[in-house]
Amino acid sequence: MTAYKEKYDNYLADFETVLDGFCGRLDCKPEKLADSLKYSLKSGGKRLRPVLMFAVGELLGVERTSLTNYALALELIHTYSLIHDDLPEMDNDDYRRGRLTNHKVFGVGNAVLAGDGLLNTAYSLLFGECFNGNDRVSAAKFICDCAGINGMIAGQAADLEHENDTTVDENLLNFIYENKTAKLLIAAVVVPSILCGGKYYSELKTFGSVLGNLFQLTDDILDIEGSFEQLGKSTGKDSAEGKYTGVRLYGLDGSKVRADVLAVKCTGILEKFEGDTSFLKDLVSFVRQRIC
Amino acid sequence: MTAYKEKYDNYLADFETVLDGFCGRLDCKPEKLADSLKYSLKSGGKRLRPVLMFAVGELLGVERTSLTNYALALELIHTYSLIHDDLPEMDNDDYRRGRLTNHKVFGVGNAVLAGDGLLNTAYSLLFGECFNGNDRVSAAKFICDCAGINGMIAGQAADLEHENDTTVDENLLNFIYENKTAKLLIAAVVVPSILCGGKYYSELKTFGSVLGNLFQLTDDILDIEGSFEQLGKSTGKDSAEGKYTGVRLYGLDGSKVRADVLAVKCTGILEKFEGDTSFLKDLVSFVRQRIC
């Protein structure tokens, strides 16, 4: 096992322990509501946002325990966005991470409520952190704004609105990538900075942005080249549905070249940091080369 | 014009000014997202929650300006819940306040995002308040928890789950009333108390709960006796769809008797307060006798 893989698995295992504890305490009625939240939360996934947050926290010397509720909140927000995004009138996906999507198991009405419930619970966790000083409020508000109507939700709305456009505008594509995908990655890497007085704040913001754009571009490439077995979700849907993707703008080969450029740019930002950035550099390579 | 009506209209006008200012500043892309948020926010309504909050604030001597973002957040949360509740796979309503529902104008996918956007924006406003001390964090967290998976969302989920039950269980009906409807009214009246050190905290909590139960019971009565012209929404749907209503459990006459009992109980709680509670007492009577 490579050092990178070992480290990723360690961060992942730490987060899964936090998540298991949270799910164990998660208590609400009706049971179906609780079940639907846990179903989507515990359906695996790479946990990229919590892993990024933990790794940047370690680089900046921020204690893991002071990050756990932020990591949890971010994963809850990410999970709610997937549940709502998979709905029939949105992306209409039946599978996610190799399992039936929330609405296929619990029905559309419940899936809407499950998403609402995860979003609301994320903020309840973060309000709990706000008793401990203004840095912790700033970090909570930063996550909220990244997820909001000038962040992820704006990206989703633009994505939905331009689904059947016949042309692809680069500015609009950048807007969708930046908001739909990059904003939550920016939140993941910027929160540790806010919690230690803003160390490398702007570098981390740029790093999160470029990494998010890279992640979404490789997602678009995988939609063409990947298989259901690798990805756990249907592929080839984006182009079939006329989605606004990088591949439509740059072509498949052009997208790969652009992904390489983004990966180099992303790694370059890390050169400015003191301390051991090898894990984050390897993570960038992984995102570029990922097959799942 | 009665003194009650005059006072209600004053609170209402104050809130509409706050809301207009907020909508004026509300800036996001794509335009359709911004339009869909404003469409539902500015579709009128009684603004019962902000009015209640302002009235209780006045009774307790809490400055109006310190309440405005809480009132706004609560109205945003209430509005998001209506948008999601009106969706085809939820209550499937085409009209709300005499206008087409959000999804009928903007499509289901956009309506899901509009609801998400309002919920998220409510919390962004409240995180902004959290820089100003722990009482303000407590008040924000209180609203969040009232709206959450042990509050309004739990009530909605239970309502949805038991839509076609052939029997009605009183405990379950109480659970639905308390969570789906009363929790946000509790938030409206408890927030001013939290902001002034907990004055009348438990009395206000009970007042909000009983008033919420009364409000939902009169809603169920109006679904039978009211008209589209009075209510601005379709009537007779609850019984046709086998919804879990008070009228199904107590009958129409039994519900009216019970509503009278709740109104008396609600007014009785106000006897314990110092200061002028006449507006709140009149408001209870209005909720009992309302035809819209």
pLDDT (tens digit per residue) in A80-122: 999 999 999 999 999 998 999 999 999 999 999 999 999 999 9
Residue of B79, B89, B172 to mutate when probing chain A, most A C-beta within 10 A: B89
How confident is the model over B169-183, as a mean pLDDT? 97
Alpha-carbon span B51 to B12, nearest angstrom: 6
Q: What is the pLDDT of residue B236?
A: 81
Residue of B31, B40, B108, B137 to mutate when probing chain A, most A C-beta within 10 A: B137
Alpha-carbon span B39 to A281, nearest angstrom: 46
- Measure A163 CA to nearest chain B CA, in Å: 12
Q: How many CB pairs under 8 A join A and B?
A: 153
Tokens at residue A80, please?
């709610």
* B130 with A130: Cβ contact below 8 A: yes
Q: Which residues of A touch B109 (CB under 8 A)?
A: 87, 89-90, 160
pLDDT band at A16 (very low <50, low <70, confident <90, very high): very high
Q: Which residues of A touch B29 (CB under 8 A)?
A: 154, 158, 175
Residue of B116, B131, B150, B160 to mutate when probing chain A, most A C-beta within 10 A: B116
- Measure A211 CA to nearest chain B CA, in Å: 23
* B120 with A147: Cβ contact below 8 A: yes
Q: What is the pLDDT of residue A239?
A: 72
* B148 with A90: Cβ contact below 8 A: no
Stretch among A202-216, A238-252, B112-126, B173-187 having the lowest mean pLDDT: A238-252
CB-closest option in B26, B34, B137 to A131: B137
CB-closest option in A84, A113, A131 to B116: A84
User: Torsion over CA of A218, A222, A225 and A229, rounded to 10 degrees?
Assistant: 150
- Measure A287 CA to nearest chain B CA, in Å: 28
Q: What is the pLDDT of residue A1?
A: 67
pLDDT (tens digit per residue) in B220-272: 999 999 888 888 888 887 777 778 899 999 999 999 999 999 999 999 999 99
The region that residue B93 occupies, defined by phi over 0 for left and psi between -120 and 50 for alpha, beta otherwise, is: beta
Q: Which residues of A touch B130 (CB under 8 A)?
A: 127, 130, 137, 140-141
Q: Which residues of B touch A145 (CB under 8 A)?
A: 124
Q: What is the pLDDT of residue A87?
A: 98
- pTM (two decimals): 0.97
Residue of B27, B102, B123, B135 to mutate when probing chain A, most A C-beta within 10 A: B123
Q: Which residues of B touch A149 (CB under 8 A)?
A: 26, 28, 33-34, 37, 117, 120-121
Give the single-character DSSP code of B100: E
Please list, in sequence order, all residues whose beta carbon lies within 8 angstroms of the beta carbon of residue B247, skipping any fewer than 6 positions away: B220, B221, B223, B224, B238, B239, B255
pLDDT (tens digit per residue) in B13-65: 999 999 999 999 999 999 999 999 999 999 989 999 999 999 999 999 999 99
pLDDT band at A164 (very low <50, low <70, confident <90, very high): confident
Amino acid at A111: A
Q: What is the pLDDT of residue B139?
A: 98
The answer to whether the beta carbons of residues A195 and A62 sit under 8 Å apart is yes
* B124 with A145: Cβ contact below 8 A: yes
Alpha-carbon span B217 to B219, nearest angstrom: 5
Mean of per-residue pLDDT scores for chain B: 95
Tokens at residue A57, please?
């926290």
Q: What is the distance between the terminal CA atoms of chain A, rounded to a whole angstrom?
A: 18
* A161 with B113: Cβ contact below 8 A: no
Q: What is the pLDDT of residue B1?
A: 67
* B117 with A84: Cβ contact below 8 A: no
pLDDT (tens digit per residue) in B145-169: 999 999 999 999 999 999 888 888 9
* A112 with B87: Cβ contact below 8 A: yes
Q: Which residues of B touch A90 (CB under 8 A)?
A: 109, 112
Instruction: Concatenate the DSSP letters of all residues of chain A into one string.
Output: --HHHHHHHHHHHHHHHHHHHHHHH---SSHHHHHHHHHHHTS----HHHHHHHHHHHHHT--GGGTHHHHHHHHHHHHHHHHHHTSTTTT--SEETTEE-HHHHH-HHHHHHHHHHHHHHHHHHHHHHGGG-HHHHHHHHHHHHHHSTTTHHHHHHHHHHTTT-SS--HHHHHHHIIIIIIHHHHHHHHHHHHHTTSTTHHHHHHHHHHHHHHHHHHHHHHHHH--HHHHSS--SHHHHTT---HHHHHHHHHHHHHHHHHHHHHHHHHTT-SS--HHHHHHHHHHHH---
Q: What is the pLDDT of residue B233?
A: 83
What percentage of chain B carries pLDDT values higher than 70?
A: 100
Q: Which residue, B127, B157, B126, is CA-closest to A116?
A: B157
* B120 with A148: Cβ contact below 8 A: yes
CB-closest option in B32, B84, B158 to A161: B32
Tokens at residue A108, please?
């559309």
The answer to whether the beta carbons of residues B256 and B225 sit under 8 Å apart is no
Q: Which residues of B touch A37 (CB under 8 A)?
A: 149
pLDDT (tens digit per residue) in A41-68: 999 899 999 999 999 999 999 999 999 9
Question: For the purposes of burial, counting CB atoms within 10 Å of the CB of A141, is it exposed (0-12), middle (13-18) or buried (19 or more)?
Answer: buried
- Measure B116 CA to nearest chain A CA, in Å: 7
Tokens at residue A194, please?
């806010």
**B233 or A207: which leads in pLDDT:** A207
